[in-house]
Structure 1
Amino acid sequence: MPHLTLHSPLGEITVFEEDGRIVALDFGRGAGVAEATPLLARARRQLDAYFDDPRSAFDLPLAPAGTAFQRKVWDEMLAIPPGRTRRYGEIAAALGSSARAVGGACGANPIPIIIPCHRVVGSGALGGYSGGEGADTKRYLLAHEHADAPLLAAPAH
């Protein structure tokens, strides 16, 4: 599968393409030989632009593998603008589901950052993040976007 690894403030991230659509973004270096297709080069430019200015929009064809419910949750996430957050419960109410199910869909998101699951937070807690360094990565992305989340401070140890 064509993929391209790029450097970011979060370390290396790898973007994967299949049939002319972005299908995954993983933290770390992809295995095998990288292939810089025109779409992957475009994804690199847009990710670089996002890390330079979080108001930059992504305009990439996406094909995340998931259930119909997961895709509905991911569509809700795509509607959250940079610097804004929504609660798991708000998305659940919009979809007639539960906050736990929304959290599961967030954790299953195969294209983090581009499908901004980091913009979904808990009620009274930041919530988890399945990529990179977990909650620290989520905090970084929200702070980078100057998000409206009041929960960005790391917990005291």
Structure 2
Amino acid sequence: LRIPKTIGQTISIIGALIIGQAAVQAGLVSTPMVIVVSITGVASFIIPHYELGLTFRLLRFPIMLLATTFGLFGMIIAVFLIYLHLVTLRSFGTPYLAPIAPFIGKDMKDSLFRAPWWKLRTRPYLYGVGNRTRMAKTERPISGEEED
């Protein structure tokens, strides 16, 4: 149909409301399910990066299917499967979730919270370089100098 943009959006929203109401009255879905689906649909447009948003939009449907079929246990299964996939990924030969999985305690100083660069004296263990030292102990900022 060739209709103005604002009217098209209004018709889409009204159509979704009517279809949702009909599905609830027919007993096909529950009211909370319609609310959750509508909230996730609106929330999926919050992510500004297109590819990341597309990933979340595509993952939404299998997660909803598992949650509808198995309830909370289905959600746990979905999160576990996503985590399992992330653990098996490698980027340039390095595990995607390193140093969290596999856990490497010495490399945790730069994972959740960023330590000052002058405290990061050694390279991460997984890089497998012969010389693990980044800088000497004497190389640290002198007070009064600006850090870049």
Same fold, judged at TM 0.5 (above): no
TM-score by length of structure 2 reads 0.23
- Larger RCO, structure (CA 8 Å, separation 6 or more): 1
More strand by share: 1
Q: What TM-score, normalized to structure 1?
A: 0.22
